[in-house]
Amino acid sequence: MRKSKRLLGLFLVLTLSVTAFFAFDAPNDRYFQIVKNLDIFASLFKEVNAYYVDEVNPNEMMKTGIDAMLNSLDPYTNYIPEDAIEEYRTMTTGRYGGIGALVGHRNGENVVIMPHEGYPAYRAGMKIGDRIVAINGYEIEGRSSDEISQLLKGQAGTPVTLKVRRFGEDDLMEFTLIREKIQIDNVTYSGMVADNVGLVRLTDFTMGASREVKNAIEELKKQGAESVILDLRSNPGGLLNEAINICNLFVDRGQEVVSTRGKVTEWNKTYRTLNPSFDTEIPVAVLINSGSASASEIVAGVLQDYDRGILIGQKSFGKGLVQATRPLTYNSQLKVTTAKYYIPSGRCIQALDYTHRRPDGSVGKIADSLKVEFFTQNGRSVFDGGGVDPDVALAGQRLAPVTISLLRNNLIFDYATRYYYLHDKIAPASNFHLSNSEYKDFMQWLSDKSFDHRSETEQELAQLIATAKEERYYDEISSQLSALENRLSHNKEADLEKFKDEIIAELEQEIAAHYYLEIGRVESSFTHDQEVQEAIRVLNQPEEIDQLLARQN
> Closest Cα to residue 224, out of 194, 179, 256?
194
Query: Counting beta carbons within 10 angstroms of the beta carbon of residue 303, is it exposed (0 to 12), middle (13 to 18) or buried (19 or more)?
Result: buried
How far is residue 229's CA from residue 288's CA, in Å, rounded to a whole number? Answer: 11
Q: How confident is the model at residue 552 (pLDDT cuts 50, 70, 90)?
A: low
Q: Apex CA 474: angle with CA 472 and CA 479, to 5°?
A: 160
d(CA 126, CA 128): 7
Which of 294, 316, 345, 362 is the catalytic position? Answer: 294
Q: Which percentage of the chain shows pLDDT scores above 70?
A: 89
195 is catalytic: no
294 is catalytic: yes
Task: Find the range with the poorest average confidence among 53-67, 322-336, 485-499.
Answer: 485-499
Inform me whether the pLDDT recorded for 52 exceeds 50.
yes
pLDDT-based confidence at 198, cuts 50/70/90?
A: very high
For the chain, the structural domain boundaries read: 2-72, 95-183, 187-396, 397-553
Q: Does 469 have pLDDT greater than 60?
A: yes
In tens, the pLDDT along 277-290 reads: 999 999 999 999 99
Amino acid 429: pLDDT:
96
Tell me the per-residue pLDDT of 294-319, one tens digit each, with 9 for 90 and over: 999 999 999 999 999 999 999 999 99
Q: What is the pLDDT of residues 384-423, one digit of tens each?
A: 878 899 999 999 888 998 999 999 999 999 999 999 999 9
pLDDT of residue 13: 45
Count of CB atoms situated within 10 Å of the CB of 228: 26
Spatial contact of 151 and 138, defined as CB atoms under 8 Å apart: yes
pTM of this prediction?
0.84
Active-site option among 163, 214, 315, 319: 319
**pLDDT greater than 90 at residue 158:** yes
Is the CATH code 3.90.226.10 the one for domain 187-396?
yes
* DSSP structural state of residue 344: T
Distances (CA, A) of 152 to 95, 104, 179, 256, 405: 14, 12, 8, 43, 30
Mean pLDDT of 312-327: 92
How much is the CA Rg of the chain, to the nearest whole Å? 27
Nearest to 305 by CA among 258, 269, 337, 273: 258
| pLDDT the model gives residue 308 | 97
CATH level 3 topology of 95-183: Pdz3 Domain (2.30.42)
- Whether 500 is a known active-site residue: answer no
pLDDT at 24: 45
- Higher-confidence position of 270 and 372: 270
- Which listed residue (204, 231, 305, 384) is catalytic? 305
Tens digits of per-residue pLDDT, 239-254?
Answer: 999 999 999 999 999 9
* Amino acid identity for residue 343 in this structure: I
94 pLDDT exceeds 90? Answer: no
How, if at all, do strands 159-165 and 173-178 pair?
A: antiparallel
Q: How far apart are CA 192 and CA 199, in angstroms?
A: 6
Q: Is 526 exposed, middle or buried (0-12, 13-18, 19+ CB in 10 A)?
A: middle
Residue 83: the pLDDT is: 77
Residue 8 has pLDDT above 60, yes or no: no
